[in-house]
Structure 1
Amino acid sequence: MPAPATTTVLVVTWRGVGHLGECLDALATQDRPHRILVVDNASDDGTAELLAAHPSAPEVLRLPRNAGYAGGIAAGLSAVDTPLVAWLNDDAAPRPDWLGLLEDALLAEPDLAAVGCRLERAGGSPQSVGVRLTADGHGADRTAAGGQAFGFCGGAVLLRTAALRAAGGVPASFFCYYEDTDTAWRLRLAGWRIGVRERAVARHRHGASTRPGSPSFHRWNERNRLLTLLRCAPARVALTQLTRFTALTAVLPLRGDRPAAANFRAGLRCRVLAEVLARLPATLLARRAIGARAVLDRGEVWREWAGR
């Protein structure tokens, strides 16, 4: 009789027929028993047929619309019944010992809530070995080995299911980007540690599902950074960064030397501000709930990690 699974691997996909098979193939080689739950964001490209035919026989939760990565993880989390849950991009392919190394690391240290891994680009160079918190509140991938990480890259990570739920789950409305930094921040406020096991490796076809650098990419990144700060950071930090974003947006049309990147387009930035303001009542309610669950002061976490 096979050993019961300790981990449910959540794979969120949208129109992933070109790369999802490689991800499922890699999961089939893992040296630990696990449950695979694929959250299909209403794909219309043959993904459903691929899932039905794949020999790993994954469970499938098909959503009626595209809820993004954050929304897909949030939907899948409601169906998880194992002590541990992994998030895995549909364009990532973990090595056979990936899950075992992460499980061993997490179960060996009771105060760890999450363990990230080394995400590699196709050529083997590091894309992420955890996430750092910049001095202005960005979540940025660490690419150098060693040292401590503030958070994890959500493309491939293992978490304690109960800790994740107790910290408020996943911010589904983010759609995608910063759901990992926000989650790591809330876990740290709740007193948990976060680690990275660099020997656990997943190869990542970064951008196979989204287009880094596109207007949508910058919209989600800028909006969700501000929302994360409003939810998790000290009030002074959150208000300072929101004010700076607003001021730069106001003066950009007057500058002749503004960068060409989409996040310096006044129209996109005005849309970001409108979306942040529309979400402000719900965001402040979430901030209150996060504060009620916290065992560490927001300022203490900020001082320890910002700018490292």
Structure 2
Amino acid sequence: MRTTVLVVTWRGREHVEACLDAVAAQTRPHRILVVDNASDDGTAGLLAAHPSRPAVRRLPVNAGYAGALAAALPQVGTEFVAWLNDDAVPAPDWLARLEDALEADPAAAAASALLESAAGEPISVGVGLTADGHGADRTDGAGVFGFCGGAALLRTAELAAAGGVPARFFCYYEDTDTSWRLRLRGRTVVSVPGARVVHRHGASSRPGSREFHRWNERNRLYMLLRCAPAGVALRECARFAALTAVLPLRRLLGRPVPTSWNFRTRLRLQVLAEVLVRLVPLARERRAVTGRATVGRSAVWRSANPGR
């Protein structure tokens, strides 16, 4: 067995069985480890009764997707480690195709699968990096900077050498941050559209919710402060703060403002407060990333944004 499949679940009673059934049906031998984020909905009983008899690590509190992966990583002794959402159902050859892709490309440290909806619509074949430092799902396979953490395969040793999983992110951007750090070590990420996974996107995190936008906005800034060129990181933090200051004025003047949570002043102030509180730890983390890097931040940034 070359791969440990890490399935992270939280209150996954409605969908985790389908995920485990699909993992059990893989054409390649593997080990499976389910990390249960203190589910209180009967998930533990389902895991204990599943015929695949997965190893289970139950955390005392909900550590989020990133926290659960970080907690489980020391228990992985295989060459590869797969990240898999509990609402994802991989095709039987998913793992084989990802393993083969990494076998064929020694420079690649991670392989990103094709996530698609139940209707067959593509959701992601990897993550691109936008000009303002956002991680954005790509559906065409072109310009893939990083892997989508919902269903990906990584070289375990490379993940550890790059600093592991950023547990404090809780969820979102842990994959793009990890991709940044792998690339700073001179590694690449490959997209494997033949490795298909049906994904019930956001079954646990409720896309569009307040917490969804809080994690996304905060973790993008965390990621940039940890990994990006200093000018890019400072520019985007300043832009975020400036827009936060302008939004109340726009409302006062009766000008249109988007209604989504990430344009609400109180949430944005919370994000800024969380970033400010962690500036010193983030600076230490940035130095640690620098110490592991073999490629300059600007070179990685330019490769993701040609011409900039």
CA contact (8 A) 1:137 1:306 kept: no
Question: Mapping of 1:14-53 within 5 angstroms?
Answer: 14-53=10-49
Which residue of 2 is the match for residue 203 of structure 1? 198
> 1:307 offset after TM fit, Å?
6.8
Aligned to 2:248: 253
Partner of 2:135: 139
Provide the residue aligned with 1:115 in structure 2. 111
CA-CA distance at 1:148 after TM superposition: 3.9
Cα deviation, 1:228-280, whole Å, max 9, x if unaligned, reads 00000000000000000001101111112211000000000000000011111
Matched, 1:264 2:259: no
**Deviating runs (4+, > 6 A) in structure 1?**
none
Q: 1:185 aligns with which of 180, 184, 196?
A: 180
Letter paired with 1:281: V
SS at match of 1:209: coil
CA positional deviation for 1:122: 1.1
The unaligned stretches of length 5 or more in structure 2 are none
Tell me which of 64, 80, 86 is aligned to 2:82. Answer: 86
- The residue number in structure 2 matching 1:213 is 208
**How much identity, in percent, do the aligned residues show?**
66
Count of aligned residue pairs for this structure pair = 303
Paired with 1:139 and 1:193, the residues of 2 have a C-alpha distance of 16
> Distance between the aligned counterparts of 1:202 and 1:33, measured in 2?
18
Q: Aligned partners of 2:95, 2:214: CA distance in 1, in Å?
A: 33
Give the drift of 1:62. 0.3
Deviations 1:41-85 (A, max 9, x none): 000000000000000100000000000000001011111010100
2:268, 2:33 → 1: CA distance?
36
Question: Distance in 1 between the 2:208 and 2:249 partners?
Answer: 23
Alignment correspondent of 1:71: 67
Distance 1:141 1:260 in 2: 23
Q: CA deviation at 1:306?
A: 2.6
Cα–Cα, structure 1 residues 271 and 104, in superposed 2: closer, same or farther, change >3 Å?
same
CA–CA distance in structure 2, aligned partners of residues 143 and 195 of structure 1: 13
Deviation at 1:16, TM superposition (A): 0.2
Can you give the 5+ residue segments of structure 1 that lack an aligned partner in the other structure?
none
Contact 2:143 2:304 in 1 (8 A): no
Q: TM-score, normalised by structure 2?
A: 0.97
- Which shows bigger deviation, 18-27 or 254-263? 254-263
Q: Distance in 2 between matches of 1:242 and 1:214?
A: 22
Distance 2:45 2:14 in 1: 12
The answer on whether the counterparts of 1:135 and 1:307 sit within 8 Å (CA) in structure 2 is no
The amino acid of 1:154's aligned partner reads G
Contact in 2 for aligned 1:6/1:83 (Cα 8 Å): yes
Q: Structure 1 CA distance, aligned partners of 2:151 and 2:27?
A: 17
Residue 305 of structure 2 corresponds to 306
Amino acid at match of 1:132: G
In structure 2, the CA distance between the partners of 1:175 and 1:228, relative to structure 1 (3 Å rule), is same
Cα-Cα RMSD: 0.9
Provide the residue aligned with 2:94 in structure 1: 98
Return 36-45 or 104-113, whichever deviates more.
104-113
Give the Cα–Cα distance (whole angstroms) in 2 for the partners of residues 107 and 209 of structure 1.
Answer: 33
> Partners in 2 of 1:116 and 1:307 — Cα distance?
22
Structure 1 Cα separation of the partners of residues 33 and 138 of structure 2: 28
| Aligned partners of 1:148 and 1:195 also within 8 Å | no
The residue number in structure 2 matching 1:283 is 282
Q: Deviations over 1:122-161 (max 9, x none)?
A: 10000001100000000000012x4241001000000000
